Amino acid sequence: MSFAYVIAHEIGHHIQNLVGTSTKVFQQRQRSSKKEANALSVLQELQADCYAGIWAHHAQRNRNILEPGDIEKV
C-alpha cells in the first residue's frame, strides 16, 4: 500500500500541474525569500499528500484495499 500511496502523491503533483498550482507556486517562489520559498514548497508537498489521502480514503471505501498498518507506513 505504501508504494501505491507514493504513486498517489505523485499523481497529486500531476493534478497541481493540471490546475496551475505548480506554476503559481513556482512564480511566487521566484519573488520570495529563501525562507518563504521553502514554506511554499512545504505547502505544495502537503497538498499533494492531501490529494493522496483523498485517494486512499476513496480506495478504502470503494475497494477495501488497505491493510492494518498501511497508513502508519507512509
Q: How many domains does the chain have?
A: 1
**Is the pTM value of this prediction over 0.95?**
no
Judge whether 17 and 47 are in contact, CB under 8 Å.
no
Q: How confident is the model at residue 74 (pLDDT cuts 50, 70, 90)?
A: low
Name the residue range of residue 21's domain: 2-73
DSSP state of 64: -
Give the closest residue to 8 by CA, choosing from 66, 67, 59. 59
Please, which residues have CB within 8 angstroms of residue 9's CB and are 6 or more apart in sequence?
48, 49, 51, 52
pLDDT digit string (tens) for 8-53? 899 999 999 999 999 999 999 999 999 999 999 999 999 999 999 8
Sorting pLDDT into bands at 50, 70 and 90, what band is 1? low
